Amino acid sequence: MSEVKFAGQVALVTGASRGIGAAIAAELVSRGLIVIGTATSDEGASKISASLKAVPGAV
């Protein structure tokens, strides 16, 4: 089965600052998607922003 190319697409990931949401967000970024993540605190938002920028392939 061929992999669908998602480069340049946008994904909204709720709960992206921890747990499975963070893992999903990182995987999507590594596949070339633009990820918008939600968090319940400013600290969580800063944390996910920094970690996603560090993912190989992140813009």
The larger pLDDT score, comparing residue 44 to residue 1, is at 44
CB-based burial, 18-27: b 16+ in 10 Å, e otherwise: eeebbebbbe
Say if CB 40 and CB 17 are below 8 A apart: yes
Amino acid letter, 37: G
Which of 32, 41, 58, 59 minimizes the C-alpha distance to 16? Answer: 41
What local confidence, expressed as pLDDT, does residue 4 receive? 64
- 2-58 confidence digits (pLDDT tens): 456 888 899 999 999 999 999 999 999 999 899 999 999 999 999 889 988 988 877
